[in-house]
Structure 1
């Protein structure tokens, strides 16, 4: 009596397996092109981050932090955290992690912002995409590794793909919300002056939604960074790999050093993007 009736069983896994087999047989060249583009972008970021010596990179990022906040304590905090990462011996791995996260965030924005705009422009599109976003945000992050592995094999490309899937929902949601919550009077005023739909979007809605979009970018970046350890399971290099190796070898000290290095990167990126969002909000209020 405890067993569920066999005739009620829905062979969902068989359908999914069949779909995956068909995609691998018929669409593999498309995945190869996508993988090549992602790898080139990631290597571009890696080249930029690794070609700059640490003694130039640290003052540069600290100066950027000071320029945004005009707070020398914030700039000093950035410098100290980056110096600590280097002192732990993880500078190169931190740059690898930054390049992976940067590539994932770039592609997330290229997908997420246009999708959010489409949702804001159409209730039907919003009704279709919203359940997908709910599923993406509630599904265990490990599940994303399976299709990424199937289509792209081991390495950094599937790690970036899995990170994109995991990190893209916030920027989609907040772009949609930002555009939808723009003051209707501003939109009506633009229409009254003869602005077309595209002009209203580019000249009114997007500028006024900038602060919301920046919050979405911040959250997407943080979620991408939170995937570095999980993505290391399928071959992503960087700090996540060091944490994974420390877990497998039960090296508490090594795991703590690599983990705290990830935390430092998260704090620096979070604070900088947070201050950018604040500046955008102040500009909107001033206008």
Structure 2
């Protein structure tokens, strides 16, 4: 770094790149064991989830996904997803689609484990919010390809750099929506809880989080969608999945291969988007028929 300062004094050019490379060299030299442990953990999580989805016969996974869609969204959505998933099988992209789904699930879960507590912290502390907000702005505006460079250096080629880049890229909406949801809770409701002697932790668990849940779930939806948008970039660093075929179609000018893989991404995106959007709604709005039937079965109160 001293040499960088000398060149700055001579040329007037800020040696930012040299400083970053010096930090990178220090990290890779002194913290390589730590990143090897993280790599092993992320790879183990991915392998476990990938085994669940890619291991069984395709018709079992399709049946589970379609039944889940039927329960949450109804028969029209389930029928459409059945056709879409069978199309993925028909174009020989099922295994790649399951690899991609495993990557998205692992990256989204890790991103949410970081984002939700951080969003709660920023909602409860203006100081933390003022510190975190510019960091989130930086993460959202930095080109996604830039995240691949340090990820490759620290975690080597494979699925783990794709997971790490996806986590960083998808983290910000989870934090922002969690903070927005908690800050949007009616202050009078919180004050009523305080008046009854509820502790701050109890107010958070029993008042703020339940009332903010629709907004938080909207953030979960955005985290998943941004994770899925990174599959192509993850394919460039050796991650298995649909992104690999999209990259191959681009490099080989193979339009058919690119379209087949792209259709798989679209179908997964539609399924995950509709499912998480439905889960963001209160249960009684997601199941209006059951609510109406329950209302009919409930006897009317007898007037005194």
Q: Same fold (TM over 0.5)?
A: yes
Q: TM-score per shorter chain, which class? A: over 0.9
Aligned to 1:257: 260
Q: 2: CA distance between counterparts of 1:192 and 1:98?
A: 46
1:183 to 183, 186, 191: 186
2:207 to 189, 204, 208: 204
Is 1:34 the counterpart of 2:65? The answer is: no
Partner of 2:281, secondary structure, is helix
Note the 1:1-287 alignment, pairs <5 A: 7-69=11-73, 71-279=74-282, 282=285
Partners of 1:210 and 1:280 within 8 A in 2: no
Q: 2: CA distance between counterparts of 1:281 and 1:15?
A: 55
Measured after TM superposition, the shift of residue 150 of structure 1 is: 0.9
Partners of 1:246 and 1:255 within 8 A in 2: yes
Q: 1: CA distance between counterparts of 2:209 and 2:26?
A: 40
Which has the larger Rg?
A: 2
Change (3 A) 1:276 1:168: same
Q: 2: CA distance between counterparts of 1:8 and 1:125?
A: 35
Q: 1: CA distance between counterparts of 2:10 and 2:279?
A: 57
What runs of 5+ residues in structure 2 fail to find an aligned partner? 1-8, 292-304
- Alpha-carbon RMSD across the aligned residues, in angstroms, is 1.7
Aligned length: 280
